[in-house]
Amino acid sequence: MTKRSVLPALIALLLAGPAGAAEPLKIGLAVPLTGPDAGFGQGARLGAEQAVTEINRAGGVMGRKLQLVAQDDAADPKQAAAVARRFAEGGVRFVIGHLTSGASAAASPVYEEAGIVSVTPGATWAPLTRRGARLLFRLAGSDAQQGALGGALLAERFRGKPVAIVHDKTSFGRALADEAARALKARGGQERLFEGVSRDDREVAGLVAKLRALGIEAVYFGGLSAPAAALIRAMREAGLGATVIGSDGLLDKDFPQAAGPGAEDTLMTVGPAPPRLPEPRGAARPARGPEAETFAAQGYAAVEVIRQGIDGARSVEPAKVAAFLHGGAPLRTVLGEIAFDASGDLTKPPFAVSAWRRLPDGRLDFAGNDVTP
């Protein structure tokens, strides 16, 4: 090789920067940054940005810095699919998102086809990880896992007693109810009644009459706050004191008023309160409202999962990273120690049981995570 041919190569190396420097590893962030859920999405973004900054300050991952590429999916399935396609076309190999189940369901097939690992901070729809997705992982417990805990409560607390399982006719509520029934049966129990109900007064009254006739002592309710409140109020007005067990769908500030005094002692399966992020080094902590705090830690943890997956696999190839994560290795995150099963779900879903109780000032509120299942 002549001196003349060596010179251009030397110039190229100098322009590229320090010896061994590599292109940043792009990590996509797909969350709602506009629309009704923007507060949650902005929180996830803040958490992810802080994690990327701290990892880069420590030297990056396998000698490469991380570059966060944020996109707004507005919690809309069509927009989420479009974002996923842009990531695939832009060479993104890892994605944090999407936040909602509908957006995740729309984007997941695109990621699977493109070979992109995605870590969702909040999607709970059970079929997400049951449809053959090899590259999808979630940091939230699934609806199936939450419903199963409700069924376990029925089985353990009301063994041998007449119980019922009710849902609000939504896909969310029916999925919870189905899983509760499955868990109850697996523990040797059987509900006396399995039925759907809306907020219609006639439907509610008819259901309450059936519950009374069967002597039901506990009701698992799969669904959201408003229909659950209507059912509880009608039950208490009819003199039926059966315990009601619900999901985090009942986690609504308007629930006690809508359900009335009879809401006291209603049980809920809920996730833990989100932890605070560590204070950022060398910078003031950005202001975050309550909505942002809800998902800031999950956004941070999603980056930690990707980093530890790459370190564990000793590769930035998504398939190898996914294989490592599916293996159940314990990962240390801001959420605590977690691990994923072969489906990409958490091996230990972070649900606990809470109760609506009367406080000294007379208000009904829920006491967080203090009821033993």
* Tally of domains within the chain: 2
The residue ranges of DSSP E strands in 107-235, in sequence order, are 117-120, 136-138, 163-167, 193-196, 218-222
The answer to the question of residue 344 being in a domain is no
pLDDT at 79 over 60: yes
pTM to 2 decimals?
Answer: 0.84
Q: What CATH number did the domain enclosing 31 receive?
A: 3.40.50.2300
pLDDT tens-place string over residues 83-119: 999 999 999 999 999 999 999 999 999 999 999 999 9
Two tokens, residue 372: 């033993």
Task: Indicate whether 171 and 251 sit together in one domain.
Answer: yes
pLDDT tens-place string over residues 236-260: 999 999 999 999 999 888 899 999 9
At 303 the pLDDT is 98
Task: Indicate whether 42 and 134 sit together in one domain.
Answer: yes
Please indicate whether residue 92 or residue 365 has the higher confidence score (pLDDT).
92
Task: Indicate whether 279 and 130 sit together in one domain.
Answer: yes
The answer to the question of residue 62 being in a domain is yes
- pLDDT-derived band at 286 (thresholds 50, 70, 90) equals low
Residue 205 near residue 175 (C-beta atoms within 8 A): no
Instruction: Give dist(CA 248, CA 228) in Å, integer.
Output: 12
pLDDT tens-place string over residues 168-212: 999 899 999 999 999 999 999 999 999 999 988 899 999 999 999
- pLDDT-derived band at 293 (thresholds 50, 70, 90) equals confident
Sheet holding 243-246, edge to edge: 193-196, 163-167, 218-222, 243-246, 267-270, 352-358, 364-371
- pLDDT-derived band at 272 (thresholds 50, 70, 90) equals confident
At 289 the pLDDT is 66
Task: Indicate whether 99 and 188 sit together in one domain.
Answer: no
